[in-house]
Structure 1
Amino acid sequence: MPYDRILPPLLLVASNVFMTFAWYAHLKFKEVALWKVILVSWGIAFFEYMLMIPANRMGSALYSAPQLKGMQEVITLLVFAGFSAWYLGQPLKWNHWAGFALIAAAAWLIFLD
């Protein structure tokens, strides 16, 4: 089916939105006790896992594990770039984009035969 190829990446995008919030949203709330933000982050990460695990399970029918991981890294960087600029107010600089481009090039190599 045509959605078989696109559904895993879409689930990876959605899971990364949750994980990025779990890992970085607390940076705007430094006055909140660390143990509290850890608990909230775990709660958010639960939803990340509810999307990530099916994405990898379904994706493994079409992609190898290294390909899924490479895809995951690129998606993570794109989601983080948007989150950093929009939510944290810290847009990426040229050197961040250059480093991310190198990671994207590495992920591209993983998909070569």
Structure 2
Amino acid sequence: MPISFAHIAPVLMLIASNVFMTLAWYGHLKFGSKPLWLVVIVSWGIALFEYCLAVPANRIGHAVYSTAELKTMQEVITLIVFAVFSVSFLGEKLTMNHAVGFVLIIAGAWFIFRGPL
């Protein structure tokens, strides 16, 4: 099957949406002195962009991916974006336990995409 817009666009849009989602959910942790009401409002504003990308990504992607494949793709992308964000923005370290957990999640994704057993 040739690769089409419906194959590529959802992946790119989900990557972008996850950057916004991760920033909205975890970016405020770097600004612990700011009032909670303020970070909630700012996070909501950031999350709007996440929704504006994630919803169309799933609509476009559903033409070529199953719902389970779209959800799995979303989770793997979320994990990768979160790992990069937590190390680069929050300065946290990834441990061997994280690596093992990530590998197990990716193994689960492989089973979703490989088709029926």
SS of the counterpart of 2:114? coil
The aligned residue for residue 64 of structure 2 is 62
Show CA shifts across 1:54-82 (max 9, x none). Answer: 00000000001110000000000000111
**Alignment length (residue pairs):** 113
Percent of residue pairs identical: 59
> C-alpha distance in 1, partners of 2:37/2:53?
25
**Aligned equivalents of 1:70, 1:108: Cα separation in 2:** 9
State TM-score, norm by structure 2.
Answer: 0.93
Counterpart of 1:91 in structure 2 is 93
Determine which of 8, 11, 14 is the counterpart of 1:9.
11
Which amino acid in the other structure matches residue 65 of structure 1? T
Is 1:108 aligned with 2:110? Answer: yes
**SS of 1:61's equivalent?**
coil
Q: What are the ranges of 5 or more consecutive residues in structure 1 without an aligned counterpart?
A: none
1:27 aligned residue: 29
The ranges of structure 1 where at least 4 consecutive aligned residues each deviate by more than 6 angstroms after the TM superposition are none
Equivalent residue, structure 1, for 2:20 = 18
TM-score w.r.t. the length of structure 1 is 0.96
How far 1:103 sits from its partner (Å)? Answer: 0.9
Residue identity in the other structure for 2:86: S
Tell which deviates more after alignment, 43-52 or 3-12. 3-12
What SS class does the counterpart of residue 31 from structure 1 fall into?
A: coil
